[in-house]
Amino acid sequence: MIRLIRVFKSFDNGRSYAVKDLSLEVASGETLVLLGSSGCGKTTTLKMINRLIEPSAGTIEVAGEDVMKQDPVALRRKIGYVFQGIGLFPHMTIAQNVAVVPRLLGWPVQKRRDRAYSLLELVGLPSERFADRFPDELSGGQQQRVGVARALAADPSYLLMDEPFGALDALNRELLQQELLKLKQELQKTIVFVTHDIFEALLLGDRILILHEGRMEQIGTKEEILSRPATTFVRDLFAKPARQLAAFRGLRDAKH
């Protein structure tokens, strides 16, 4: 499991805080969604879990061990990471990109390739068409799927996903969301998933954590949050899509 205990992060020696006094626990097999608007500290929080960013104060544990006492490379190998905005290696083929961690782990070539090909199929990119291309020969949404396949490659117990479906159109997004739901049931991964999309949070999160200006506004199941919003901020956040949905229904029904 993953645990944060009173974590703070400042990028300017304490003048301001990107993350303020954040404590949370993600149970084994659970998906926690970090939800909040741009700049609220989602990516910073995620990156502190695998030490891409180091906290200014507080403790972070993965599998019961302080991450600051773990070797960062070993730590990152057991945690799949989907970067916000893709981050594929441009000089590597798609199959090589997917197999980066298996290669670091010393898997034999054939096993690496089989794994990459089957993951490409899983994310809807047939290997015969995509495996040998380079990232700049794929659309943004296709590249994002490669990023998801890459994070899954070494079958890590932990997955950190930073707006992994952000560049996808609504249909493909739904497809991958459904795939992730299936995967999560089958493979029992512990997942921290970042999004600013409320519907995505409601669909994927066993629990949802709402961040605002680096602080936790609320954490809970969707039922808890929808029925008992802890703050005005949370209430307003969920009131907006409800209004949009009502407006959409109004438009649709007016046609008949």
Ligand X SMILES: Nc1ncnc2c1ncn2[C@@H]1O[C@H](COP(=O)(O)OP(=O)(O)OP(=O)(O)O)[C@@H](O)[C@H]1O
Q: Which residues bind Mg ion (CB under 5 A)?
A: 43, 84
Among ligand X, Mg ion, none, what does residue 38 contact (CB within 5–8 Å per kind)? ligand X
41 near ligand X, rule: CB under 6 A: yes
196 near ligand X, rule: CB under 6 A: yes
The amino acid at residue 68 is M
| Interatomic CA distance for residues 82 and 79, integer angstroms | 10
**Count of CA atoms in the C-beta half-sphere (13 A) of 171:** 1
Selected binder of ligand X within 2, 4, 22, 42 (CB under 6 A): 42
Size of the site for ligand X (CB under 6 A): 12
- H or E element that contains 197: none
Binding mask 43-82 for ligand X (x = CB under 6 A): xx--------------------------------------
Contact between residue 147 and residue 83 where contact means Cβ atoms under 8 Å apart: yes
Q: Which two tokens stand for residue 3?
A: 């645990």
Q: Is 39 helix (H, G, I), strand (E, B) or coil?
A: coil
Cβ closest to Mg ion, residue 14 vs residue 39? 39
Contact between residue 143 and residue 135 where contact means Cβ atoms under 8 Å apart: yes
Cβ closest to ligand X, residue 12 vs residue 136? 12
Using CB under 6 A as the criterion, which residues of the chain lie in contact with ligand X when the complex forms? 11, 18, 36, 38-44, 84, 196
